[in-house]
Structure 1
Amino acid sequence: MDTQLLDILVCPICKGPLQHDKKALELICNADRLAFPIRDGIPIMWADQARELHNAADIGVTERDPSLPAA
């Protein structure tokens, strides 16, 4: 995904930052515990298309938002 696009995209529900999971081709909202799919390079930002994240193993984020505090 284009990094400039990642910089401007936010969660459609809470308007919070998203993290890019390159392996799963998803954008992750940690606040809402949702993963939005990326299909053919296009993020699908509809709440009804998002996958719920139930535990830490569901999140395989490879790029994190630099504005978030370190874990």
Structure 2
Amino acid sequence: MIDELGLTSQFLEIAACPACHSSFAVDYELAELVCVNAECALAYPVRDGIPVLLVGQARKVG
């Protein structure tokens, strides 16, 4: 199944933060994958259905 950002459930099950290897939560409002590790807390943009999993493109969450 593909969600509103164009991501499949299979992708979300195996995707991991490139910085710390933790899993992601999806922020549909901001179109981001957010690392669930509170110490890492990087948010990676999803552009045109493609997650940009580059640490240099991520932003630090709160």
TM-score range for the pair, normalised by the shorter chain length: 0.7 to 0.9
User: With structure 2 as the length reference, what TM-score do the two structures score?
Assistant: 0.80
The secondary structure found in structure 1 opposite 2:46 is strand
- The CA RMSD over aligned residues, in Å, is 0.8
- Structure 2 regions of 5+ residues with no counterpart? 1-6
What is residue 43 of structure 1 aligned with on the other side? 51
| Deviation at residue 6 of structure 1 after TM alignment | 0.7
Q: Percent identity?
A: 39
CA distance in 1, matches of 2:36, 2:14: 17
In structure 1, distance between residues paired with 2:11 and 2:36: 19
The structure 1 segments of at least 4 consecutive aligned residues displaced by more than 2 Å after TM superposition are none
Q: TM-score, normalised by structure 1?
A: 0.71
Name 2:3's counterpart in structure 1.
none
